């Protein structure tokens, strides 16, 4: 049962990550590569692989016994998730030649894009969780 919940959670997060990464990539490409790109099917597969790997952060907030985490533990997990996402995206960037490592502006642009996408995904997931909690509370009130 727990495995099913985790898989469902992963496939809820993956499309969100894919969408946000695609939008971030479009902005990054427009800003740094202009018309100098040969973006085609290979770029879509690269973004899909990057999103697939980044979506594993959907497992970051879970505990084995279902208990809540302290604010400090949540903050530490969020920082670790950000570092993981950062490593994945930068690793994909180097592997797929998305930027020139010697160009500090491209690296800064990539880092800002990673921050924006991470913040967007985190905010959207927070809103979804808050909405779900409100629904559960409404159902519980209806039973009482």
pLDDT tens-digit map of 14-57: 898 999 998 888 888 878 776 555 567 788 889 999 999 999 88
Per the structure, the count of domains in the chain is: 1
34: alpha, beta or left? (left if phi > 0; alpha if psi -120 to 50): left
Rounded-to-integer distance, Cα 6 and Cα 59, Å: 7
| Contact of 77 with 69, CB cutoff 8 Å | yes
- Residue 42's pLDDT is what? 84
- Residue 3's pLDDT is what? 77
- Residue 87's pLDDT is what? 96
What is the domain extent for residue 62? Answer: 2-143
124 Cβ neighbours under 8 A, 6+ residues apart: 16, 20
Whole-prediction pTM:
0.80
Rounded-to-integer distance, Cα 102 and Cα 88, Å: 19
Residues in the chain: 144
Residue 12 has pLDDT above 90, yes or no: no
Residue 65 has pLDDT above 80, yes or no: no
């Amino acid at each position: 049962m727990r495995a099913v919940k985790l898989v469902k959670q992963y496939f809820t997060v993956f499309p969100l990550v894919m969408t946000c990464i695609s939008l971030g990539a479009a902005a990054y490409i427009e800003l740094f590569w202009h018309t100098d790109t040969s973006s085609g099917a290979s770029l879509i597969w690269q973004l899909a692989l990057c999103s697939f790997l980044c979506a594993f952060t959907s497992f970051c907030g879970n505990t084995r016994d279902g208990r809540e985490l302290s604010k400090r533990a949540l903050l530490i997990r969020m920082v670790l998730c950000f570092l993981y996402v950062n490593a994945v995206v930068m690793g994909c960037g180097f592997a797929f030649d998305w930027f020139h490592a010697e160009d500090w502006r491209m690296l800064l642009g990539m880092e800002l894009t990673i921050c924006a996408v991470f913040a967007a995904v985190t905010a959207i997931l927070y809103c979804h969780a808050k909405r779900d909690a409100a629904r559960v509370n409404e159902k519980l009130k209806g039973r009482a």
